[in-house]
A and B are shown apart, each in its own frame.
Chain A
Amino acid sequence: MTENKQKEFEIRIIPSSISSLFTDDVEHQTLSPLSCLIEYGTYWLLEFDLPLVNKKDIKITSDENSISVEAKLKETYFEEKFGRKAEFEYFKKSISLPGKIDSKRITAKFEKGRLEIIIPKTTSSNKITIN
């Protein structure tokens, strides 16, 4: 692998997957962050992995159907795309929300480069009689 002990730790970067070629926006220097949406009993947890980002540089917006996150990187990130060195300055992604959510009670927390958004479910329900 490497002959040089002084060489800084580098791990091989897997070639960009087909999906990332479409989700990352080279022209607008925007990366698509990893995210996941997990359902719990009374809420949904939406997480974004935002390394190289400061809390003050994150903007979260939402409407009834989606949540969007934009964040400026602390420093320019370089990555090989289509055989060329591309520069990235931002993360940006929109996620469609499941139905029956209480959008007024959404909260967010940012720690160690991970953004956690708690999306409470609405609690309205109809009583069903047992025969």
Chain B
Amino acid sequence: MKVNKKTSQENILIVGFPSNGLIGTFTISYLIHALDMKQIGELDHPDLPPTLFVEDGEILAPIRIYKRNNIFAIISDLPFDPYLAYDFAGLTLEYCKTSMIKKIIIVSGMETINKDSNAPKIYGLVTHQSLEETLYTNQISKFLAGSIFGTDAAIISVFRKSKTPTLILYAECHPFFPDPEASIVSITTLAKILNIKIDTTDIQKKMEYLRIQRRNLMDETIRTLQQQKIENKPRVPQIYH
């Protein structure tokens, strides 16, 4: 895995990759859109499925780095297994060092099938005590007890050993279906932490389309996550079709 970096600098990195409800994907891609962030590089790994995207004639890698002022973003359009996740986290940290990033925020989804659909909640988990205050000042409930496995666990376990403090935002969501509605909660929370204003009208208008458009990615993500569950430990018997 290597970093193809065009520029470097600044201090906050937001990270999103396909997981429960595609929360990270929706949230980070919307932030990139809303802040009009520019792509400054990409992450590459020989074990990633050979996938490229073409946009306006430009070839794009599935894991890309964006920047606007002091905010950096890394987004993956492909789900990855825990082994790739370790490499992804290691490389992200390497990038943080070279770009003098002082804080990392990861956005993900928390499996909650029977959530109160009118008010999805958001929880925070921090790797360093210095970020406890961020939770408190932004009124984010602390993730107090539970288990994290697979890709999320792999990434968090790498970050918690590093010197760069990391905050993980978990939005309650449906684990098996794309959940742009729950993503709105993480978008507004993230905006609050970053002290920026984000209008979510655009994503609200397109929620139903996003659910259909992203069903293939959700399908791929579920297969990856289910595989991780089988490899780690059998849990509640959930059957995904």
Contact = CB atoms under 8 A, between A and B. Distances in A.
Do chains A and B stick together as partners?
Answer: yes
B215 A49 contact: yes
B51 to A, nearest CB: 7
A34 B177 contact: yes
B210 interface: yes
A38 B213 contact: no
Nearest to A94: B241
Nearest to B66: A1
Contacts of B77: 12, 14
A95 interface: yes
A36 B117 contact: no
B53 A12 contact: yes
A122 B97 CA distance: 59
Q: What is the size category of the interface that chain A forms with chain B?
A: 35 or more
Contact of A2 (B36, B214, B220): B36
A15 B51 contact: yes
Interface string B68-85: 000000000110000000
B28 to A, nearest CB: 10
B36 A5 contact: yes
B202 A34 contact: no
A17 B216 contact: yes
Interface string A39-79: 10000010101011000000000000000000000000101
A12 B54 CA distance: 9
A11 B178 CA distance: 13
Interface in A6-52: 8-17, 19-20, 31, 33-39, 45, 47, 49, 51-52
Given A14-B77, A34-B215, A111-B117, A9 B208 contact: no
B36 A51 contact: no
A113 B211 contact: yes
Contacts of B214: 11, 13-14
Contacts, number: 109
A36 B238 contact: yes
B239 A11 contact: no
B6 to A, nearest CB: 14
B217 A14 contact: yes
A72 to B, nearest CB: 14
Contact of B215 (A10, A33, A36, A37): A33
Interface string A87-127: 00000010100000000000000011110000000000000
Given A49-B178, A79-B212, A93-B241, 20 more contacts: A1-B37, A8-B202, A9-B34, A10-B33, A11-B25, A11-B29, A11-B213, A12-B29, A14-B51, A14-B220, A20-B215, A34-B177, A34-B178, A34-B215, A34-B218, A36-B240, A36-B241, A39-B237, A39-B238, A112-B117
26 contacts: A1-B38, A2-B33, A2-B36, A9-B202, A9-B203, A11-B210, A11-B213, A12-B53, A12-B60, A12-B77, A14-B77, A14-B78, A14-B216, A14-B220, A36-B238, A47-B176, A47-B177, A51-B208, A51-B211, A51-B212, A52-B212, A77-B212, A111-B117, A112-B117, A114-B174, A114-B177
Interface of B: 25-26, 29-30, 32-34, 36-39, 51, 53, 55, 60, 66, 77-78, 113, 117, 174, 176-178, 181, 202-203, 206-220, 236-241
Closest 3 CB pairs of A and B: A51-B208, A51-B211, A9-B202
Interface of A: 1-3, 5, 8-17, 19-20, 31, 33-39, 45, 47, 49, 51-52, 77, 79, 93, 95, 111-114
